[in-house]
Structure 1
């Protein structure tokens, strides 16, 4: 498989070729990969690019718990579908438990943590609606211990965040976005009675491995370990559990091997504007492989665009190949973009469509919660300048 076909194969596995058009949000996230959130707009564009789902529908799915943002692999938060909630949540339990060890080093015994868990859960179960951390702290009073300067140095100012993380990892509470939107990081908490997971740790790891290899269409051992945070032994056991094979240096599901061999590069353009944190790149952190020819050697702000593990700008992509970069300029209500070659009609049309989607549905397109028009203005100016010099 040559590089262009390999890129298009990943594109196809991600459902970016139109194969997921008309699917609901939970189906998209199940088949193409959980959407990384961090308070940015990636989940919305993930759903729009693959299935044409607008923000209003996505927010309705969040409110109805058809999709939800949960901590899972590596303890990171992703938006995923309801069928994956219990077992995916179990994968993030280790990260939640790790903070307990930090508290222990600061002199907080596990019994104190358990008592605060019980009190917090009782308050949330009796509450008339979700409570934010400030409201919880007020009601819990002295049960929440301040950890002083020593705690601040370790990122734990009080005992409450650790307790909230533990309760969330067990499915006893969940975070609720205060305005119902995924592209911000202001949350309240509410009680939740998610059915406990019955799978063993080995089973959950095998389930994630099967999902991951299906989402990517194949990944190296190193890429697999980066996403899952499994140990070498756990990774090998999970690969064996799903009967994965390793043709051409990539671990793949058996059902994908023949499909990949039969796959051919689609002849027509398939244009998408994606977030830099889209699953196409984030799952394997292989953005460099999505540049063709000398495109990766092009420089923006004195840095080659392919030298960074995570894209600082959002990509314009055709069948898996990055053909340009973009940022949203809310002041001009437009997409600032730099195309490596003059645009075709499909490229111009898709830029206009995504521009309208962001303007009408989102208002802005943040990469993460603290992203702002001011913080990205330098990159917007650089994209405009690069476009003018093409």
Structure 2
């Protein structure tokens, strides 16, 4: 199987070939997959690369709940379209349940105590005219929030409040709203979610199959291992989830596809012209599979990681060391944003052309004028990435 065809197909299915220009954010997410957030610029960069959506448009969609950042697959936060809010919350429910079970076992917390705190928090938010941050909730809840002492600090759960907030979120009773309306930071308030997006979706076999159906529409061809990475399901549950989909194997590989996509893939040809995109390192083109080497040309596998220890190569990385430049699905370069110069600093694996320079210029303008920076995650900063910027510039 020609690797360039697979890469170009993945990029096509991800809308990185220009086919989704002008499409609304919710539809982009429905067609290409949920976007990982972690307080960085990934959702903005991903929606700009696919649909040329401005930050103000995305923020307006967040405000009107066309899209929202929710705990979902593996308990991680993703930006989801409204059509998937309930599914995302249900598949993410295991994480706060597990945290509560651990707190019961090691910290002396009881289910009844947390359920009562959930009622207290819900009542506080119901009576508030504005979102309340964790500190404000803790103060208003008073003795209903219990300090978990040194044992809690060692386990990363200092009070009982995060346990209640986690349960209330996955139940669809409350939701987090970004303090300034932006996705690329991690300061939140909480509000009641009325009406709740949670309805009758509760049968876990159905839930897992629905997640598998979406996943293989976004990421196929993909293996069961890839799906398990994304979903966090056990091997048995992953196999059971995909069984009703009647996926077909790609000859000579362990990759699976829906039948209708397999027919389309057979007739797909690699575009002759480059199609560049500048994306976050946690963009779906990588993170849906988390199998970085599949995007690298053989000649690039042994490339040294910029700014890393001697001997570290791109082919040995689980994740990209910087933001990604892709061309028809190929990992074709690295980039970062330098706030000192308000410029994108980049390294391309090969020759530059006019199309690449135009894409870099458009993305640079978007980051400079609409985002102000292109952070990888909440703790990323100009200071923390200075060595990467210097290595790329060198």
TM-score range relative to shorter protein:
over 0.9
C-alpha distance in 2 between matches for 1:281 and 1:138: 42
TM-score (norm 1): 0.97
Shift in Å, 1:234: 1.2
After superposition, the CA RMSD in angstroms is 0.9
Shift in Å, 1:56: 0.4
Which range is displaced more, 41-50 or 241-250? 241-250
Residues 90 and 197 in structure 1, CA contact (< 8 A), matched pair in contact too: no
Once the two structures are superposed, the pairs formed by residues 220-369 of structure 1 within 5 Å of their partners are 220-247=223-250, 248-299=253-304, 300-301=306-307, 302=310, 303-369=312-378
C-alpha distance in 1 between matches for 2:142 and 2:280: 42
Which range is displaced more, 224-233 or 241-250? 241-250
Shift in Å, 1:291: 1.2
SS of the residue 1:372 aligns to? coil
SS of the residue 1:263 aligns to? coil
**Which ranges of structure 2 fall in alignment gaps of 5 or more residues?**
none
Residues 14 and 280 in structure 1, CA contact (< 8 A), matched pair in contact too: yes
**Which ranges of structure 1 fall in alignment gaps of 5 or more residues?**
386-390
SS of the residue 2:319 aligns to? coil
Q: Which runs of 4+ in 1 moved over 6 A?
A: none
1:95 aligns with 2:95: yes
C-alpha distance in 1 between matches for 2:270 and 2:49: 20
SS of the residue 1:65 aligns to? coil
Residues 172 and 193 in structure 2, CA contact (< 8 A), matched pair in contact too: yes
TM-score (norm 2): 0.96
C-alpha distance in 2 between matches for 1:172 and 1:241: 32
Shift in Å, 1:307: 1.3
Residues 85 and 197 in structure 2, CA contact (< 8 A), matched pair in contact too: no
C-alpha distance in 2 between matches for 1:244 and 1:162: 39
SS of the residue 1:325 aligns to? strand
1:214 aligns with 2:223: no
Shift in Å, 1:103: 1.7
